[in-house]
Amino acid sequence: MRFTFGPIPSYARPHCTMQIFSVRVADLEDGLRWPLHVHGLVAARDTSDHNRNFLFSRTRDNCQVLTQQDPYLLLTGPSRVIVIIDPITIEFQLKVKSKTDPEEDEMLAFGIFNYPQTYLATHVIRSGILCDRCTIELAYAPLDPSVEATIIGVRIIDGVWPEGLRGRVVAEVTTVREGEVLLLDSRDGKMPISPSTGAVELWRHVVSVDLEGGKLVVSVVASPQIAGKEDGDDGGGSAVVVARGEAVFAPERAGTSNGTCDLGFCKVEVAVAWSLVSSLWNERRALAKLAEERAWMSVLCVPV
């Protein structure tokens, strides 16, 4: 949301970005057995600032339990879009928690995935990253030119969410087939809704959207908590749908948009903030040009 409000600098523009849909653990080796109590990190680095942009980060005291039926990491990032100008890297540092001794935690995945290409995709790309004790499957798609969409609010504005219904909030980009970004899944727990404001607490917020020809679709899905999971669904979707509402957004360069998902028993308002993106190279070039212009002005303004 760097350029959502206020003046937009010249170096902010649509860029080629990478949308990451899911990260899955597969093909366990070397004595590892399901379920796995996983902690550690998955992070991306790009030319925006070279810092880690976390997709997954959990401490040992807050492990995620992965099963053979649901081996997807619950992603909470990125915190901003991943910009593809120079090659980007995805870093994995994942461990399996020992049941007895912290010193005996086992390494699950340790490595780096390099992505140098900038070609476009109309479907989800699935790359298997071979690690010593498992395979990490990364599902992603490059989008160009694209902008950053931040889902800043999901709020019930009419009606109530029924007890006993599982809730899922997902985002899709119409230019990428079979791609779904899981923003929230209450699973067998209660839908995280604030009793005072009706706001729904999301896991993920940031999505890349094609500026030319693409649209952002945010869906709220209600299903029984005891429902099974579809084979191949990223993050474990429910096979039985009680109600589904969609809000469709045309991409913008800045500002905010609002839409409503009508599920019948309640209406859910979705708010999206739009922003262009930038890179360190563009910013430094713009600052150097500004410094040069100021230097010339100071020379021209010196009295003879």
Q: What is the pLDDT along the chain (304 residues), one digit of tens a residue?
A: 999 998 898 889 999 999 999 999 999 998 899 999 999 999 999 988 778 999 999 999 999 999 999 999 999 999 999 998 878 999 999 999 987 777 789 999 998 888 877 677 789 999 999 988 999 999 999 998 999 999 999 999 999 999 989 999 999 999 998 899 999 999 888 899 999 999 999 999 999 999 988 999 999 999 998 644 443 444 444 468 999 999 999 999 999 999 999 999 999 999 999 999 987 666 656 555 656 556 666 666 656 5
The closest of 134, 152, 131, 112 to 4, measured between CA atoms, is 152
- The confidence score (pLDDT) of residue 299 equals 66
- The confidence score (pLDDT) of residue 235 equals 47
The closest of 197, 220, 212, 85 to 151, measured between CA atoms, is 220
- The confidence score (pLDDT) of residue 301 equals 66
Domains, the chain, in order of start with CATH, read: 15-293 (2.60.40.150)
- The confidence score (pLDDT) of residue 50 equals 78
- The confidence score (pLDDT) of residue 230 equals 43
Contact 87, 113 (CB under 8 A): no
Query: What six digits make up the tokens of 205?
Result: 């917020």
- The confidence score (pLDDT) of residue 231 equals 39
- The confidence score (pLDDT) of residue 302 equals 56
Cis upstream peptide for 116 (omega within 30°): no
How far apart CA 146 and CA 50 sit, in angstroms, is 20
- The confidence score (pLDDT) of residue 47 equals 81
The closest of 161, 241, 203, 166 to 73, measured between CA atoms, is 203
- The confidence score (pLDDT) of residue 228 equals 46
How far apart CA 218 and CA 204 sit, in angstroms, is 12
Phi-psi region of 223 (alpha: psi -120 to 50; beta: other; left: phi over 0): beta
